[in-house]
Structure formats: C-alpha cells, structure tokens
Structure 1
Amino acid sequence: MISDRHAWTRPELETVAPGVHRLPLPLPNDSLRAVNVYALAPEGGDGDLTLVDGGWAIDESRDVLARLLAGIGAEVGDIRRFLVTHVHRDHYSQAIALRRAHGARVALGAGEAESLETVRGRDTGLQAQVVGLERAGAPELAGEIRAWLAAEEAPPVDDFADPDEWLTDGQELRAGGRALVARETPGHTRGHLVFVDETVADGPMLYAGDHVLPHITPSIGFEPAAKPGALIRYLSSLAALRAEPDRLLLPAHGPVAPSVHERVDELIAHHDQRLAEIATAAEKGLPTAAEIAGALRWTRREHRLEDMETFNRMLAVLETDAHLEVLAAQGRVTRTSGDDGVVLNVPA
C-alpha cells in the first residue's frame, strides 16, 4: 500500500498544464521509488513530443512509459527529443536506449561530459567516493564499498553514450511548442541543469530535476567524476534560483509543488542548521568527517550513522565532509591533511 507521502509514485498520468504531463516511472529496489519525466506535447499533436528526463533503461520503466504516453495519444516512437537534467542512470540511460531504438535526440548539460567519460572507462561511479571516504577518515566503510563494487556488474557502456547536443547556461530551447531556458545548477552533479518554462498562459514553471526536491534533501556531488566544492556550488545554485521570480516546482522525485522559493528556503535552512551542528562537533574535538558524521542524526527519522545501510552511511560521511568544505570557505574551520592522507578539521 502506498502512503499519501508516496502517492506521487503511482504510475498514473498527471496533466500539470495544457500540453505538460507528469509521467512517474518505476525505480525498482531504489528508495526513491520512482522518477518523474515530463512529456511536453502541443495540443493538436504536431509530432513535436519532448521528454524532460528519460528514466532508467529497464523493461518495467519502458512499459510504464508506453502505457502513460498512450494516455495522451502518443507512442514511445513519437518522442523527438529528451532534455536530460543530469547524468544519473534514472534520468539518462533510458533516453539513450530509446535513441538507439527510435532515433530520438538527446540533450545534456555540458558539465556532465567528464562523468560520462568516467563511466565509459568502466568506473561504476563510486571510485571517487571511495577515495573521499578514506580522506574523511572512514577506511572500513571505504573497504565495504570496494567489496560491494567488486561484486557489482559495471553499468552498460551503451547506456552512457554521449548526447547529440551539449546544453549550456542560458540556452533557449523550443520543446513541445513551449519556450524553455536551460539553467546550470551545479551541486547534485557538476553539470546539472534545470529548465525554466515561462509560457505566459500557464504561469512560470521549473523542471527542477534533482536540484530542488519537495520531500528530501538532494545528495551532493554524487557523480562519477566528483570534485571538491560540491556543496559550495549547490548553495550558490539555490541562491541564484531564489533570486529569480517564483515558479511552480516540477521535481524529478516527489509531487508537483506550488513554490520553488518555499522549498529553496527550507533547503537553505536545513544546510544552515547542518553547518552549525558540524561546527559544534568540530569545536568539541572531533577532527574527521567520519567521526562528526557518527555524532549526528540522519534523515527525518533521526537515524544514527551505525544503524544505516552501507550506501547511506557513505552518503552521510561524504556530505559531512562537503559541509566541512563550506565551513572552511567561511573561515570557521581549518582543514589539514595528515601523513596518512586523512583530512583533519579544527576550529579556526
């Protein structure tokens, strides 16, 4: 039974505005449950069917996509273009698979090029995270991730081919009879894009990908070619959106929400609180990101780090380290590397 909080994951078509349809596609065995793709289809059907994001390249997702598209009188083969917010498999891989099958064009942010190259080099996308865990003082957790990776199959290289078009910040697009603008919003990944839809008749909307989510805090810098400073970039991206006019929020995970500004304010407040908690832990003499993460509570259920699954413990430690990078940039902590490469954090 799906709770009210997860009602959005039901594989049911939702029309957000004339010619804009939310299609939740399944993510089996993933805590996110589903990913929203948005079909932009001009009324009257001129054949210009565009999808914002593509879903995960699995049979179950493709079957649901076909059924939901039938609800607007379309077929999978009618898709002319995918505008993909970022390179994660649940957004990108099905777009590439359907391009192979039907010839649709795929567009992606130019900042994702290095991550695509990394995946095609047979990196499952977590090697940078393993190194990050070691630097954060979590060698045992890094070993657990290494063992898990050794047992996993590498992702199909064909699902991570280059797009047909690399998009840049401010680029104007026509999609499904609508005028969109691509905005670079690095943080979740370095090349993450959102798409602003200012179609006057329907009011302003934002196809937000994983940048702004209504129920959860997006993970930061979780990408194959991860680089330092992810949370610094993310907070700057949030501030840039907050400075623009408010818009209807069309997220990749979660229900459509009435205000981008409201959720951005909540996300900024969350990170401010986290920064304060982590600064306090450093003042108490906990020097590494791993030790500090172990002293915090996680998720809305207030889990202890040791009670979480391996994957989520990895995210927690790395996000603690990302917050410490912000504190260092603010001059609140000093970060130094020991002889073993572990980064130590002390109050400035």
Structure 2
Amino acid sequence: MSTADRHAWSRPEPEPVAPGVLRVPLPLPSDALRAVNVYVLDDGPGLTLVDGGWTLSRSRDLLAEALAGRGAGFGDIRRFLVTHMHRDHYTQAVALRRELGVPVALGAGEQDSMAAMESRPGPFAPQVAGLRAAGAAALADLVAGGPGGTADEEYVDYAAPDHWIVDAEEIAVGDTVLTALETPGHTRGHLVFEADDVLFAGDHVLPHITPSIGFEPAPRPGALQRFLTSLARLRERPDRRLLPAHGPVAPSVHARVDELLDHHAARLDTIERAVQDGTSSAAEVAGAITWTRRESKLVDLEPFHQVLAILETDAHLEVLAAQGRVTRVADEAGVHRHEVPGA
C-alpha cells in the first residue's frame, strides 16, 4: 500500500459506513495521526456523535459542513458519546456543549484523570516522572522544559461530562442499542461501543498502528496488562466491522485484535532478549531495539516519539516482571533496573 493510499482515509470527505452512520474525518495539528474519525449516528429526529474532535476552527467548520450535507446542523446534535478523554476526542464536544448545551458522556474510568486536569498540571508531569524512573533523565528535562502539555485555553474544554458511562451500559440511539464496554489500557476509562455488526473502537483497536499505553494525566501501573486483557475481551465477543478513531474502516475486529496481541507478544520476547543481553533500564532497552515499520533507532525518532517508545518499553518490562521473566528493582536514584532471573 502506497503512503498516499495509507492516508486516504484522512481526507476531509464524509463517508457512509453503515446504515445511519457517517464517518467524518476531522483534522489534527499533527502529521502523525492526521485526523480523527467522528461518527455521526441517526438518532430519531436528531443525531448522536461518537467522539467530538479537537477544538480547532478548521475541525468545527468541517463538522458543520458534514452535518449540513445531511440537512442538519449543530442544533440537531442530541449528545456526544466520547470514547476517552484525549483532546482529539473530547475537547470539541465540550466546546459545543458550552455553546449549545449539548450533553457529553464519558467513561467512568476517566474520573481520576479528569480530576487531575482540574489542577492544571505541568506539561506531561506524570510522563516526566515515568521517564526519570525509566533512566531517561535528559529526555525528561527536555520535556519538562519544553512547550508541550495543554494550552491554557484548552483547560476549559476539560470540564467533567454530564454523564459517566459505566461498563455494559446500554444506550438507545434511534432504533439501535449501543453497548458500552470498558476497554482500559490506552487510558484507564477508554470505552468502545458495540452496535449490531459494527464496533466504534476509539483508539483501542486501530487498523494501522498500535495505540500508546497509559498516556494520561493520572496513570497507574498495569496499563499494558489491562490493554491486553481488554483486547482478549473483544476477541471473545462476536466479530464486527472495525470503525476506528484513526484509520479506515476494516472488515474484522478479531483479525486486528489478533495482530495486536501477536505484536505485543513478540515485543515482550524482544525486550526480554534485550535484558538478557545486558541492558537494564527501560531507556537502555528502548535504545537497543527498533521502532516503527521502518525499524528506526530510538535516537532517530522525534523527542515526543522517544517519550512514547521509552514509556511503552517500561510498560512491557512491567508485564515481564509480573510474569516472572525479569526482575525489577529501583536503584538509589529511583531508576528501575531489570535482570533475567538467574543470569
């Protein structure tokens, strides 16, 4: 598949993907993800939207154009059902609620992270701490001193939702019933929504990339294990068409879940071998293995992607330690060191 074909899904061209469901790609200020899919569902006389996009003027304009193409407008939106609290999914929904009073619903597992946002934390504060524990002090200093994090004007769009959705909650949308399933891992409160033969998967199952793990304002240990358990949960349910937040619609949730489980099993093996070869901290292990389809070295990645790579490595080391395949001990400086038992 050519690069152009790979990114065709992100063009601002609304696409019907199921009866009464329109996929609307909305732009993001990054070439990495390019766009987020917002799904517009017929809901009786109005509309329900799964995810809301990022608060950007271009995003708002394109959403208005897509609704107008259906003979509707913002006033016809009955509610937003948001898969998780990342800004590219949540903030535009809250901005439209502030303007129009449209209710917003979010997974109950996001409550701690939403509360953490109320304190206006410094740029990526939990991730900076994680980098230090991973042995990446220089990168932690760079991130802490950089312009990253949440802009002041965006904090207003991190207000609490009108409704906290719980696991297995059923939501009537027109003649369809959506079932919300908790799928923690990408964030603690991530949800997917099952409907007939489709799954609104958010960032839990993506067709082209593996989602970041536990990148949130209030992370806690065990994010990767929760992600793998959540994938296994979907694998046990009936297969459906995959409607992801980033990327094109795909024919099978199960097929992609199998690929993701295989990827992480292989990554666990690779990281265990790196520890056997003498690397110790997550930063050292991340530097000893390759990343992305291009098999790039850690030093060749942009700083933000280095952050994701090191934190992902640490999450895998955490799982390996829980499985007894490595030992994990903090040294005097608080850096987690790893060894293979008996080495």
Contact 1:27–1:34 at 8 Å: present in 2 too?
Answer: yes
Q: Counterparts of 1:155 and 1:296 in 2: how far apart (Å)?
A: 39
Given candidates 252, 265, 269, the residue that maps to 2:258 is 265
Q: Summarize the Cα distance change of 1:178–1:229 in structure 2 as closer, same or farther, 3 Å threshold.
A: same
Indicate the residue corresponding to 2:106 in structure 1. Answer: 108
- Displacement of 1:176 in angstroms is 3.7
Contact 1:23–1:36 at 8 Å: present in 2 too?
Answer: yes
Contact 2:123–2:148 at 8 Å: present in 1 too?
Answer: no
Q: Counterparts of 1:39 and 1:150 in 2: how far apart (Å)?
A: 31
Q: What amino acid is aligned across from residue 144 of structure 2 in structure 1?
A: R
Q: Counterparts of 2:148 and 2:258 in 1: how far apart (Å)?
A: 40
Note if 1:305 corresponds to 2:298: yes
Alignment of 1:1-348 (within 5 A): 3-42=4-43, 46-123=44-121, 126-149=124-147, 153-154=151-152, 156-198=154-196, 204-348=197-341
Contact 2:123–2:150 at 8 Å: present in 1 too?
Answer: no
Q: Summarize the Cα distance change of 1:114–1:125 in structure 2 as closer, same or farther, 3 Å threshold.
A: farther
Q: Summarize the Cα distance change of 1:176–1:301 in structure 2 as closer, same or farther, 3 Å threshold.
A: farther
- Displacement of 1:150 in angstroms is 7.2
Q: Counterparts of 1:98 and 1:80 in 2: how far apart (Å)?
A: 11
Moved more, 66-75 or 51-60: 66-75
Contact 2:123–2:143 at 8 Å: present in 1 too?
Answer: no
Q: Deviations over 1:128-148 (max 9, x none)?
A: 100000000000010010111
- Displacement of 1:125 in angstroms is 5.9
Q: Secondary structure at the match of 1:51?
A: strand
Q: Counterparts of 1:205 and 1:174 in 2: how far apart (Å)?
A: 15
Q: Counterparts of 1:124 and 1:239 in 2: how far apart (Å)?
A: 35
Structure 2 unaligned blocks of 5 or more: none
Q: Summarize the Cα distance change of 1:133–1:209 in structure 2 as closer, same or farther, 3 Å threshold.
A: same
Q: Counterparts of 2:3 and 2:117 in 1: how far apart (Å)?
A: 34
- Displacement of 1:126 in angstroms is 1.2
Q: Secondary structure at the match of 1:297?
A: coil
Contact 1:108–1:167 at 8 Å: present in 2 too?
Answer: yes
Contact 1:119–1:125 at 8 Å: present in 2 too?
Answer: no
Moved more, 14-23 or 149-158: 149-158
Q: Counterparts of 2:77 and 2:54 in 1: how far apart (Å)?
A: 16
Q: What amino acid is aligned across from residue 9 of structure 2 in structure 1?
A: W
Aligned length: 340
Moved more, 154-163 or 270-279: 154-163
Q: Secondary structure at the match of 1:118?
A: helix
Q: Secondary structure at the match of 1:217?
A: coil
Q: Deviations over 1:174-208 (max 9, x none)?
A: 1243210000000000000000102xxxxx11000
Q: Deviations over 1:157-181 (max 9, x none)?
A: 2100010000000000012432100
Structure 1 unaligned blocks of 5 or more: 199-203
Q: Counterparts of 1:91 and 1:13 in 2: how far apart (Å)?
A: 17
Q: Counterparts of 2:153 and 2:180 in 1: how far apart (Å)?
A: 28
Q: Counterparts of 2:299 and 2:308 in 1: how far apart (Å)?
A: 13
**TM-score, length basis structure 2:** 0.96
- Displacement of 1:124 in angstroms is 5.0
Q: What amino acid is aligned across from residue 29 of structure 1 in structure 2?
A: S
**TM-score, length basis structure 1:** 0.95
Indicate the residue corresponding to 1:201 in structure 2. Answer: none
Q: Deviations over 1:218-270 (max 9, x none)?
A: 11001111111110100000000001110000000000000000000000111
- Displacement of 1:17 in angstroms is 1.4
Q: Summarize the Cα distance change of 1:81–1:307 in structure 2 as closer, same or farther, 3 Å threshold.
A: same
